[in-house]
Structure 1
């Protein structure tokens, strides 16, 4: 229920490159920007953003649209949620019309869970700062950890009162629905139907989505009771899937892009302490094993990960195999090991910010070489163990998709392990061949996204499909040139859009989306308006947005210096726009007439009445004359 004036202000302020750049690492390519698809697992960029048109197109998944569409697709926002996110980003006050009780009830389930989680975060913060128990227990604990007031407020840390029903009772009193309080994991239902608080007596670490909304919590107990778990985390829900979330990513994403590196730690306190020390490009997997989904989240922002380990040797060895996942995704991995007994949180507090940064810079090692060194020390002089180390290291190298990078590691590891380089290469090739055989035909090859002439699609063989492609060509021309003036005969100037609509007045479109698009365009023209591409990019109907972006986005783009580099002149459609417009109109008409002629022939073969046959034959001969006129037209005007 956001007013149109507010929507217009949001659209005018939105920079699509800036918005998508918060989620995807973009690189300039000619007039556009490219990056890896956030919707598909790919190593060759197929995702493009056009700042001039204000659209994105992902050729891997087929998704496309405006900045609003992007947020709806990636973050699963509703249309109003996406607009409000943009409004907040650009400091625009959102004006809304009155929402009826009926509309309130229609709020979707996901948004209800988000609202409850946001309410809970505020409740825990108020409990921390405004109650005596919160200040004496929760705030004191955070201060002991060295967190400043600014940091505590930034990460929205809180405290859950040490009472069975403090939060649950207050949430129900304030009108929040029991179903969502329980489903979000904030409260637990007893057998008698009453609720009790899941996090009572714990300091609270809210977990945020990529865009900064609270979606879950981690609660740490301050008691020494061994029967009480140290941490209690939110259960999985519609808004929280722990394998897809990295703690602190919403605070770290800009710094990760700027530094082109992501520091990965283990716990909440590690993230907060390191962030407070000025190293803001830090995230945590929140105590869970690192997942492929989490790695891909980082991979959208940078190809470089630095793991900050604590000094526990057993923990280090256990996590080595898991890090192969990072290599498999094509990312570069370095590791930093802290002295025994220290983790990033304790060590940054011990050294201070500057000395901590220097320690990281002086002690980071490449993961493959680090792993080789660790395992060799463990194997000692035992030849059997050493052989196992060699295979394990080569297994890691085999996961690196970049063959040049892999060969460099083979060379360096051969020196470290004192083994012939050719022997390692032989083992590497065996592993890769075995993997290729196992994968079989399951591998997907990606077409490189590089500077190249605009590709043309082959002519479809199916007449029905051909008709669809011709209707889409009309849509494309209306989008690109509808509001341009054209000189038809050296005397008359007219707008292309209204001319095409008038010429197509007697043509029945069959493809549903094309039919809807032309109907919308015709209505705008009838109302004295010339709709431009932005009208359709921001149209409420998703199918209209999809066809708009598909027609506007080219899979291959020419770089600005294509002509200078290659001395190849690519045909410019605008140089003969008259032929393009008339050709599209009359090709479509010819296709429609062809279908009518086929239908008349079929009716002639099945009709027994002499009168009906005569009528059908006259219609057939008339349509043949029309077809000939169009064919003659192609031979005279189009070719000129």
Structure 2
């Protein structure tokens, strides 16, 4: 168990914008930050982070909360793991008690798989650095590749002994269960027998964006031609190849800072570049590039430079990935190395300055690159040239931004010496064809699920929910503020008539709300609001220095999410940059007293209307009690008239 003092220190130190900035490219938006949602596929930012309130809200998925809840949602951390991650990030010493065997057994399956992967990572490193076989085989291989001790340790490279059960036996001896060794793919089980998947290989751990070990890549060092040169961990609950990029943990901050990501093919390409000083580099780990991997980069930058070696066949196969990148609305450049060179070998032979200059000089826009690559094959063949132009226009058609699309058409027309009108016409035909295909698919789906159409009623606004929500919002934002409130009291004038006379008094917002609601003995209908209301009133009553940031950190996660939803709801309008369009939303702090009084009176009027409606139903069901009920209705109606007059005065 982590001590309360450690947890408090973590919350006091951690900055939500800094932590989330490691996973999402955040841009300043007024007093907040905004970025693309890490929980959904989107091209317009709907993810907001508030440094003042130390909370975040994702309007596309509805998720929100504190810095800890972000790590729990995004990285699937448990609460203690999120605290430990933040403690490590901010160099806070963790004070905790030793876990019992029972507590270890209670860990979830996913967590058990993470624990097994972490153990394996440490084990492979120890084998390489602390055993004779590891030093002479594994470590010497990496040294021959030109890697320094520092870079080997940074990327946590290791070695698996060339023995059938060395790792599995050690893991079981240390108390790790065989089923989790099998689920992570570290051990292969066949009947009664089990053996190590990665035996006799140098090991490359594959990390998540936050640094958790998800799986491994292993390179064989022997001369066995039947065995695969590179072997990856199989798909598991924690490792999905299509959603992971090798090196993203080490590169994320550099990618955001440089506003560009270099994409290579292999593990050693990444490590060699990093060692030379080009740190904004990741690899797809030998798999075809996927939309999920592209979106991972898209959170950090809009710019990708794809690096190819001199192998023409490999380049042509990789060109398909460029269209995927364009579809995500990203900017693509391509850079190739001389024949016989790949990013690893080229970086090894050159200094940082030479490598950086080469990348800068040789990185071409994808249109220019495609043209230069394929023009040699075309030569004077008009049919082949037409096919090449069509291929280039197909790539341009993937770009979602219309202005960017038009600029690329102009560039393509210049390079290929063809009329822009022809290219625009071809582009329009492609768009029309895609639209027709989409319509056909839609009609088929409609036909397949054809049912009697019924016009779905529009969802009604839950007035009571909205008013209760406003009361909670006022308590959260202004609960401890002292405000002037105008109460309207019925008094007899000189003519003997009753009229409303204003009486001004000062009170704290939470006191005003509590006393007014107590007067009506009102209970919140929403369970979360009811729970939050009593916690807030109790906290505000006891703590004169109430701080919203620390309060959010101390409540239950479901309540923290509700608070975030309330506090960040208005921030969604900042996503649209209204002020740039000369639209200035009115600040809520303009008149807190008026806002509170208006909300309470509106709620009281609404509840009276609800009560009167209930009386009507009761009269229909029990006509004998109509006289008594009628009196109650008259009393409530008079009260409603009085409250309405007060409300009109407030408004």
TM-score (normalised: structure 1): 0.92
SS at match of 1:321: helix
User: CA offset at residue 349 of structure 1?
Assistant: 1.5
Does residue 482 (structure 1) correspond to residue 479 (structure 2)? The answer is: yes
* Aligned partner of 2:462 among 450, 462, 465: 465
Structure 2: which 5+ residue stretches go unaligned? 443-456, 487-502
Cα distance, 1:621–1:491 mapped onto 2, change above 3 Å: closer
Deviations 1:465-519 (A, max 9, x none): 1111111111111111111111336974321112212221211211222122112
> Are 1:479 and 1:532, in contact at CA under 8 Å, matched by a contact in 2?
no
User: CA offset at residue 630 of structure 1?
Assistant: 1.2
Task: For 1:5-404, list aligned pairs within 5 A.
Answer: 5-97=5-97, 99-192=99-192, 194-404=193-403
SS at match of 2:462: helix
Cα distance, 1:635–1:419 mapped onto 2, change above 3 Å: closer
Deviations 1:251-289 (A, max 9, x none): 111111111111110001111111101101110000000
The whole-number CA distance in structure 1 between the counterparts of 2:583 and 2:551 is 34
SS at match of 1:283: strand
Cα distance, 1:624–1:13 mapped onto 2, change above 3 Å: same
The whole-number CA distance in structure 2 between the counterparts of 1:440 and 1:182 is 46
Moved more, 623-632 or 174-183: 623-632
User: CA offset at residue 95 of structure 1?
Assistant: 1.7
The whole-number CA distance in structure 2 between the counterparts of 1:626 and 1:557 is 38
User: CA offset at residue 295 of structure 1?
Assistant: 0.4
> Are 1:54 and 1:67, in contact at CA under 8 Å, matched by a contact in 2?
yes
The whole-number CA distance in structure 2 between the counterparts of 1:294 and 1:587 is 50
Cα distance, 1:462–1:263 mapped onto 2, change above 3 Å: closer
The whole-number CA distance in structure 2 between the counterparts of 1:211 and 1:441 is 43
> Are 1:162 and 1:201, in contact at CA under 8 Å, matched by a contact in 2?
yes
SS at match of 1:95: coil
Partner of 2:608: 593
SS at match of 1:538: helix
The whole-number CA distance in structure 2 between the counterparts of 1:263 and 1:86 is 28
Partner of 2:620: 605
Partner of 2:434: 435
* Aligned partner of 2:592 among 565, 573, 577: 577
> Are 1:66 and 1:537, in contact at CA under 8 Å, matched by a contact in 2?
yes
* Aligned partner of 2:640 among 621, 627, 630: 627
Deviations 1:89-134 (A, max 9, x none): 0011122245444433221111111111010011000100111111
Cα distance, 1:48–1:378 mapped onto 2, change above 3 Å: same
Aligned residue-pair number: 617
Does residue 500 (structure 1) correspond to residue 500 (structure 2)? The answer is: no
SS at match of 1:504: helix
User: CA offset at residue 524 of structure 1?
Assistant: 2.9
The whole-number CA distance in structure 2 between the counterparts of 1:608 and 1:485 is 50
User: CA offset at residue 54 of structure 1?
Assistant: 0.8
The whole-number CA distance in structure 2 between the counterparts of 1:591 and 1:90 is 50
The whole-number CA distance in structure 2 between the counterparts of 1:347 and 1:510 is 68
> Are 1:483 and 1:532, in contact at CA under 8 Å, matched by a contact in 2?
no
The whole-number CA distance in structure 1 between the counterparts of 2:69 and 2:53 is 14
The whole-number CA distance in structure 2 between the counterparts of 1:525 and 1:66 is 20
The whole-number CA distance in structure 2 between the counterparts of 1:361 and 1:528 is 58
Task: For 1:502-517, list aligned pairs within 5 A.
Answer: 502-505=515-518, 506-517=521-532
Structure 1: which 5+ residue stretches go unaligned? 444-459
Cα distance, 1:586–1:142 mapped onto 2, change above 3 Å: same
Does residue 410 (structure 1) correspond to residue 414 (structure 2)? The answer is: no
Cα distance, 1:418–1:594 mapped onto 2, change above 3 Å: same
> Are 2:35 and 2:47, in contact at CA under 8 Å, matched by a contact in 1?
yes
User: CA offset at residue 350 of structure 1?
Assistant: 2.3
SS at match of 1:377: helix
Deviations 1:352-399 (A, max 9, x none): 333222222221111121112212222222222111111111000011
Cα distance, 1:212–1:593 mapped onto 2, change above 3 Å: same
Deviations 1:522-560 (A, max 9, x none): 33356566754325532443332222112211244569x
Cα distance, 1:589–1:530 mapped onto 2, change above 3 Å: farther
The whole-number CA distance in structure 1 between the counterparts of 2:214 and 2:527 is 39
User: CA offset at residue 197 of structure 1?
Assistant: 0.7
Cα distance, 1:152–1:316 mapped onto 2, change above 3 Å: same
SS at match of 2:321: coil
> Are 2:510 and 2:537, in contact at CA under 8 Å, matched by a contact in 1?
no
Deviations 1:165-194 (A, max 9, x none): 1000011001111111111111111212x3
User: CA offset at residue 440 of structure 1?
Assistant: 5.1
SS at match of 1:235: coil
> Are 1:202 and 1:222, in contact at CA under 8 Å, matched by a contact in 2?
yes
The whole-number CA distance in structure 2 between the counterparts of 1:532 and 1:501 is 19
TM-score (normalised: structure 2): 0.90
**What is the alpha-carbon root mean square deviation over aligned residues?**
2.3
> Are 2:485 and 2:594, in contact at CA under 8 Å, matched by a contact in 1?
no
Cα distance, 1:500–1:354 mapped onto 2, change above 3 Å: same
Cα distance, 1:621–1:487 mapped onto 2, change above 3 Å: same
The whole-number CA distance in structure 1 between the counterparts of 2:101 and 2:233 is 31
Partner of 1:448: none
User: CA offset at residue 3 of structure 1?
Assistant: 2.1
Cα distance, 1:20–1:369 mapped onto 2, change above 3 Å: same
